[in-house]
Structure 1
Amino acid sequence: MHIYKILRTSEWEDLRARGETQGAPIDITDGYIHFSTAEQARETAAKHFAGAEGLYLAALDPDRMGDALKWEPSRGGALFPHLYGPLRLKDVAWCQPLPLVDGVHRFPDGFA
């Protein structure tokens, strides 16, 4: 099982260059890094990244994050994964572009 993080191009480039990040501005403000499950990722893209180009979808192994990863209620009581610590490049299983096609983000083939 993977959890997912939608990253802007600059955020992905920064993570690759530094090896870790504290996340996007909203993550820093909230005090944790927001992730989505496969079932939540499309809604996250539509709600928080509507119309945004230059995005990437990173898949991460939650088992590598240890106790810093917490599952907490959010939208409508659904549990979302939140990381209370840095996002490390070594925890990224894969990362692919998330292009905007006809106003909708196109997720990789075979994505849930």
Structure 2
Amino acid sequence: METIYCLVPKSYWEQWVGKDHYLPRDYEQEGFIHATKGEDLLTKVADRVYAHYTEALYVLLVEEGKISSPVKYEQAKDGLLYPHVYGPLQQSAIYDVREMKRVEGHWVMGESVRS
């Protein structure tokens, strides 16, 4: 199973629980869902994008092969390839939701918040 990760503030995620798909806050402007692949890159992106974020942060663990929308790997400003999901992310592809925790000033993936 190939896993990609999508970071989402807890308060925003809560409005998508129980719906058939998920779209991030910036989907209309961006046209795709930002994702990362690999835990090392996940923590680097979380540290960069959410450096000053103080609210609860979650990460969606997504089985890439179950995503029905197109997934394209595209190069970002940092020169690395990131998976971008061009369409809604259906809930059936999200196999876990975990909290992100700050440890010594860095974001790391924590425990599952799914019951």
TM-score between both structures, scaled by the size of structure 1:
0.83
Alignment partner, residue 88 of structure 1: 90
Alignment partner, residue 12 of structure 1: 13
| 1:76-110 Cα distance to aligned partner (Å, 9 max, x none) | 3211000000122111111111123443223237x
| 1:33-69 Cα distance to aligned partner (Å, 9 max, x none) | 0000113211110110113230001110111114611
| Contact in 1 for aligned 2:9/2:56 (Cα 8 Å) | yes
Alignment partner, residue 64 of structure 2: 62
Q: Secondary structure at the match of 2:78?
A: helix
For structure 2, which runs of at least 5 residues remain unmatched after alignment? none
Higher strand share: 2
| Contact in 1 for aligned 2:16/2:22 (Cα 8 Å) | yes
Q: Secondary structure at the match of 1:99?
A: strand
Higher helix share: 1
Matched, 1:49 2:53: no
Take 1:21 and 1:58, find their aligned partners in 2: how far apart are those partners? 10
Q: Secondary structure at the match of 1:50?
A: coil
In the TM superposition, structure 1's runs of 4+ consecutive aligned residues that sit over 6 Å from their partners are none
Deviates more, 1:80-89 or 1:97-106: 97-106
Q: Which amino acid aligns with 2:74?
A: E
TM-score between both structures, scaled by the size of structure 2:
0.81
Alignment partner, residue 98 of structure 1: 100
Q: Secondary structure at the match of 2:6?
A: strand
| Contact in 1 for aligned 2:101/2:110 (Cα 8 Å) | no
| Contact in 1 for aligned 2:6/2:61 (Cα 8 Å) | yes
